Amino acid sequence: MLNFADTPPLVAMPAVESRELIAADLRLLITQIETSMRRIAAAMDQEHTGDPEGSSDVFILDDVTPRYASANAALNACRADLRQALHYLSESSSAA
């Protein structure tokens, strides 16, 4: 969890520079979300391929796939919203 208590106060800056900083933040968030989505996919793959040979007599009733799929869907929606915000930001900068 991030702690914003020690965040320095915002400094007034030109609108163009401010939009560029916001766009950079949005791109970074999108990258972090995509990294998390890849990690979820890897964890799902590991869950499905982690069965040792000869374990055909063992059945696992608690499947974690729905939780991973739900988390992945939420991240996908968040990524789409961030991309939309980035698009709106670029529209506002081209209108200015």
Taking residue 33's Cβ as centre, other Cβ atoms within 10 Å add up to 19
DSSP state of 19: H
Instruction: Tell me which DSSP letter residue 8 carries.
Output: P
Determine the structural domain holding residue 78 and report its residue range. Answer: 17-46+63-96
CA dihedral (38, 70, 58, 47) in degrees, to 10, reads 10
The total number of structural domains that make up the chain: 1
Using a cut of 0.75, tell me whether the model's pTM lies above it. Answer: no
Spell out the per-residue pLDDT of the chain, length 96, in tens. 455 566 665 666 677 788 999 999 999 999 999 999 999 999 888 877 765 555 566 665 567 788 999 999 999 999 999 999 999 998 876 665
| Cα 68 from Cα 40, distance rounded (Å) | 6
Is there a domain that residue 9 lies in? no
- The answer as to whether 1 is a domain residue is no
Q: Which position has the token pair 């609108």?
A: 15
Domain assignment of residue 37, yes or no: yes
